[in-house]
Amino acid sequence: MNTRKILYQYGYRRCLDQDRSSPARHPVVVVGAGPVGLCTAIDLAQRGVPVVLLDDADRIGEGSRGICYAKRTLEILDRLGAADPCLEKGVTWKIGKVFQRNDLLYAFDLLPEDGHKMPAFINLQQYYLEHALVERAAALPNLEIRWRNKVVGLKHRNDGATLTVETPEGRYDLDADWVVAADGARSALRGMLGLPFQGEAFEDRFLIADVKMKGDFPPERWFWFDPPFHEGHSALLHKQPDDVWRIDLQLGRDADAKAEQMPERVIPRLRQMLGHDDFSLEWVSVYTFQCRRLERFVHGRVVFVGDAAHQVSPFGARGANSGIQDAENLAWKLAFVLKGEAPESLIASYDLERSAAADENIGHSTRSTDFIAPRSAQELRFRDATLALARHAPFAKRMVNSGRLSMPSTYDSPLSTPDTDRWSGSAHLGAPLPDAPMRDHSGQPIWLLDAIGGEETILHVQNEAQPPVGSRVLIIGKDLVDEHGFFTQRFDAHPGSTYLVRPDQHLAARWRHAAPSLIEEASRRLRGFGEGHA
């Protein structure tokens, strides 16, 4: 049962580095071609940094897999040139429903407003995402993927690291100025450096099943507490492409993982849930989970990203989504440092910003788990009391926690220049910019985030004064026209308002009226030349 029907197979190919007498030297070697490693590699390559991406396997499509990709992740994928196939294939959804027994407790809408290019979420089997990313990577001449290249040794140097790589044709060494460890929750690199991976383990077992069927369920996230078909536990139903449905059933802590995966045990359970047996099993697994992290994500010239750096429970879709946000946070910083446009200490801000994000994700994930899988009689009482009160009092509805779905982090960061003016709207200092539909100078529709792309950008709302100067300035009212007023509202924009945007599209600074010296200072600060980054 633990094999996927769809696999993409890639081949091992001997590379020139294997025939060298001394190790070849590369600016960046990324280890692990999952979604996070692929995104890191693509982002770096797009920024002009040559990348070698190593993976110990030669195919994708195996193992327990993420299915929910959030709006911010889709925006990042779009910038990386991989969103279109995902959107085309994925199931777009934004409505979630929470049931107790058979009764609807409440429904939520994750993206209640118009004027965003990307939907709140899509569901997509992880192998489709990985496939889209591999295809995109293949189109980049400065990105080389080496399949069946397994890292078996890692040695720190002052100015980088040396990796020993095992292939079907033997071993070779590689020197890297920087190593990005994207080798997953069981990270071998983490082990090689002897780094502890600490946190909380949860005892409850969950059954995860992908079922193929033609169903009339809408593309919504349905979560049940104590459903009649699975008494005393929780259940989740979620649609994926190809008529595949993800089902997640809480089994309790005493469940026998092996027995529960047997079709003769799984099928009756699902029959009870779905009310028929007109389905086939695509994949079944029983899992427990941990919420844990590395104390630091940067160790010399080795940087940990994604599950290798931090691990969360699946509730809230915070694994792949936060990992891809790690990738985008790190890529522009590494590119700046490698090109000598920023001090090496800029990388410390990756640790700072993404550590805070990891803590936020682990916090949400742990609290969801507390609610979904209570660990004592009294925890269960509080949970059931909340569910019962939810029918009567709005406050309790807000306490019902079936997973708080992934939202991007707002960085409280030394790279940000603190606000000196008052701002309203949905743009926040340190957060990714809200998108907005605009028109370009020729009147063509363009999304704000597409116009900004991956470069440090100054957005300036036209007024009588001279526009600011910088490496890249977009003038609202000239280069971009805010036809429908979304930009004005979301950015609380007035004539003269100026915004400095980081290469990862997070807001670094803003002014009602910006003096050139302030913009220059904020730009230096964004690159880690500011205070605290000596």
In whole angstroms, the minimum distance from the beta carbon of 65 to another protein comes to 36
In whole angstroms, the minimum distance from the beta carbon of 367 to another protein comes to 14
In whole angstroms, the minimum distance from the beta carbon of 191 to another protein comes to 39
Residue nearer to another protein on the CB measure, 384 or 492: 384
Query: What SS3 state is found at 162?
Result: strand
In whole angstroms, the minimum distance from the beta carbon of 380 to another protein comes to 9
In whole angstroms, the minimum distance from the beta carbon of 485 to another protein comes to 35
**Hey, what are 172's tokens?**
């070779």
Rounded-to-integer distance, Cα 306 and Cα 322, Å: 7
Residue nearer to another protein on the CB measure, 382 or 423: 382
CB 144 within 8 A of CB 137: no
Angle between helices 35-46 and 71-79 (to 10 degrees): 40
Transcribe 168-210 into DSSP letters.
TTEEEEEEEEEEEE---TT-HHHHHTT---EEEE---EEEEEE
Residue nearer to another protein on the CB measure, 19 or 231: 231
**Hey, what are 360's tokens?**
């936020």
Kindly list the distances between the CA atom of residue 38 and the CA atoms of 14, 69, 291, 349, 366, in Å, as whole numbers in the listed order.
20, 15, 24, 22, 28
Residue nearer to another protein on the CB measure, 231 or 464: 231
Residue nearer to another protein on the CB measure, 378 or 471: 378
Residue nearer to another protein on the CB measure, 158 or 378: 378
Describe the chain by its helix, strand, coil percentages, rounded to 5: 30, 30, 40
In whole angstroms, the minimum distance from the beta carbon of 97 to another protein comes to 23
Angle between helices 319-338 and 71-79 (to 10 degrees): 40
Instruction: Report CA 493 to chain centroid distance, whole Å.
Output: 29
CB 6 within 8 A of CB 125: yes
**Hey, what are 415's tokens?**
């790279």
Kindly list the distances between the CA atom of residue 80 and the CA atoms of 18, 134, 328, 383, 458, in Å, as whole numbers in the listed order.
30, 12, 10, 42, 21
Residue nearer to another protein on the CB measure, 292 or 404: 404
Residues that bind another protein (CB under 8 A): 377-378, 381-382, 384-386, 388-389, 393, 395-396, 399
Residue nearer to another protein on the CB measure, 126 or 368: 368
In whole angstroms, the minimum distance from the beta carbon of 397 to another protein comes to 11
In whole angstroms, the minimum distance from the beta carbon of 388 to another protein comes to 7
Residue nearer to another protein on the CB measure, 218 or 363: 363
Name the residue type at position 281: L
CB 109 within 8 A of CB 95: yes
In whole angstroms, the minimum distance from the beta carbon of 379 to another protein comes to 10
**Hey, what are 478's tokens?**
């000239």
